[in-house]
């Protein structure tokens, strides 16, 4: 097997470029040349030996268009709260915390390291299989969404991310979004894909893909108009799960509309955008992660992707969305509000209630001789 053939075998399995393979080859070549004369075959043999575990992995290489990522705030907060409780108990009474197996002390390179342990905490739901196990970075998770190429088509897929792979995607979300990417993952057929140690997601084309066209072609069932929200819910009620405040869709949907009022939050994890549509009179709120850019008020034809929420008890705002993407088409970008509009915008006013003053005035007038 020559260099080109080995590269092709490796690239079919893992998400790696020719440049990255050449870097590995050059390092191995330099090592071996420092010890004497070597051959390409010897270098390739070492390269194959080091990378062969990748070939045995269940992961395969995939190509798709990356849409965005949804951090699992609820689960990650439970993890963080459990860690906090472990540390708190350790600070209050080290030996008791160790004896109760809520934290463990280990030595690493001559330094003491504390490892929090999953345990029962008031207000936190801990699964039986977690109890007594160390809390690691793999207990932090997120979900990415992509249009993945399959049999000359593209399918909307979810990708489970944990630990360092989650951190990588969250950090590089903006540079990857709406780009054609390659990555390694474990395809579980009709279930969400699992990330791989060899995930290595990277863009293979720098230009942005027209997401509007992709959704129109490959996600027709998930594309919903605001005016059709109640009909969509009734037709897909089995695809919603019960929550404390109503129902949440299991799968993402795509809503198209114009940006209305914007509420920027300093304290919470999300900003809020009100989406407007002439054919939908109720309010519709999108909870947009702070990592995503907020489009300007009045921007038309914006596509919001995320999990749909339904609260039958809220008559004014029955539907809302937990958003992972906010796609503004090229023709709608950088549109500014014309000056002529400013004259007619009515801002919220604090109107003082003067009814009591009017009553007193009328009484005084009645007393007067005039």
Same domain for 207 and 229, yes or no, is: no
Question: What is the domain range of residue 26?
Answer: 3-56
Q: Tokens 């702070």 appear where?
A: 290
- Domain assignment present for residue 351? The answer is no
Instruction: Give the span between the Cα atoms of 301 and 255, in whole angstroms.
Output: 10
For residue 96, is it within any domain?
Answer: yes
Measured between alpha carbons, how far is 95 from 100 in angstroms, rounded to an integer? 9
Task: Classify residue 345: in a domain, yes or no.
Answer: no
Last residue of one domain, picked from the residues 201, 218, 235: 218
Q: For position 151, what pLDDT does the model report?
A: 82
pLDDT of residue 117: 95
245-283 in b/e form (b: 16+ CB < 10 A) is ebbebeebbbbbbbbbeeeeeeeeebbbbbbbbeebeeb
Considering the domain architecture, whether residues 250 and 306 belong to the same structural domain is answered as: yes
Asked if 238 and 324 sit in the same domain, the reply is yes
The low-confidence residues of the chain, meaning pLDDT below 50, are: 366-370
Three-class SS state of 335: coil
Q: Do 324 and 227 share a structural domain? A: yes
- Let me know whether 227 and 327 are in one domain: yes
User: Based on the domain organization, do 16 and 39 belong to the same domain?
Assistant: yes
User: Does one domain contain both 262 and 319?
Assistant: yes
Supply the pLDDT for residue 231. Answer: 95
> Is residue 260 located within the same domain as residue 318?
yes
CA distance 6 to 87: 49
End of a domain among 192, 218, 244?
A: 218
Look up the pTM and report it.
0.80
Query: Which residue is listed with tokens 């003053």?
Result: 357
Structure tokens at 331: 């023709």
Return the CATH number at 270. Answer: 2.40.50.140
Does 338 reside within a domain? no
Q: Does residue 110 lie within any of the structural domains?
A: yes
pLDDT, position 157: 94
CA separation for the pair 133, 140 (Å, rounded): 14
Examine the domain organization and report whether 296 and 201 are in the same domain.
Answer: no
Q: Does the residue 342 lie in any domain?
A: no
pLDDT at 348: 54
Specify the number of domains making up the chain.
4
Q: Within this chain, do residues 123 and 45 fall inside the same structural domain, yes or no?
A: no
Is residue 349 domain-resident? no
Tell me how far apart the 2 most distant CA atoms of the chain are, in Å: 121
Token pair of 200 as six digits: 């290595």
160 in the same domain as 83: no
> Does 105 share its domain with 151?
no
Whether residue 49 contacts residue 123, with contact meaning beta carbons closer than 8 Å, is answered with no
> Could you tell me if residue 181 is inside a domain?
yes
Question: pLDDT of 190-225, one tens digit each?
Answer: 788 999 888 989 999 889 999 999 999 999 999 999
């Amino acid at each position: 097997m020559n260099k080109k053939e080995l590269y092709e075998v490796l690239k079919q399995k893992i998400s790696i470029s020719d440049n990255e393979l050449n870097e590995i080859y050059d390092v191995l070549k330099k090592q071996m040349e420092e010890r004497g004369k070597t051959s390409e075959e010897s270098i390739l043999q070492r390269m194959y030996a080091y990378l062969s575990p990748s070939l045995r992995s269940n992961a395969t290489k995939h190509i798709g268009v990356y849409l965005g990522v949804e951090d699992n705030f609820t689960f990650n907060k439970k993890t963080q709260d459990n860690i906090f409780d472990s540390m708190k108990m350790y600070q209050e009474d080290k030996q008791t915390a160790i004896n109760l197996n809520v934290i463990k002390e280990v030595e690493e390179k001559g330094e003491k390291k504390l490892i929090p342990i999953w345990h029962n905490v008031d207000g936190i739901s801990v699964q039986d299989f977690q109890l007594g196990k160390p809390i690691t970075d793999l207990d932090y998770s997120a979900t990415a969404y992509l249009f993945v190429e399959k049999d000359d088509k593209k399918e909307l897929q979810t990708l489970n991310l944990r630990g360092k792979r989650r951190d990588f995607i969250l950090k590089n979300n903006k540079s990857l979004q709406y780009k054609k990417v390659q990555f390694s993952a474990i395809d579980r057929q009709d279930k969400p894909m699992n990330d791989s140690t060899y995930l290595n997601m990277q863009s293979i084309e720098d230009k942005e893909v027209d997401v509007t066209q992709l959704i129109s072609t490959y996600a027709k069932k998930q594309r919903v108009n605001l005016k059709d929200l109640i009909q969509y819910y009734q037709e897909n009620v089995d695809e919603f799960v019960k929550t404390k405040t109503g129902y949440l869709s299991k799968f993402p949907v795509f809503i198209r509309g114009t940006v209305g009022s914007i509420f920027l939050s300093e304290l919470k994890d999300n900003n809020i955008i009100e989406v407007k549509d002439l054919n939908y009179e109720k309010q519709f709120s999108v909870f947009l992660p702070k990592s995503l850019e907020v489009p300007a008020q009045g921007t038309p034809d914006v596509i919001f992707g995320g999990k749909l929420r339904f609260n039958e008890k809220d008559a004014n705002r029955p539907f809302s969305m937990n958003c992972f993407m906010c796609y503004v088409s090229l023709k709608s970008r950088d549109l500014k509000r014309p000056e002529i509009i400013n004259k007619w915008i009515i801002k919220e006013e604090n109107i003082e209630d003067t009814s009591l003053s009017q009553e007193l005035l009328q009484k005084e007038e009645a007393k007067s001789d005039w």
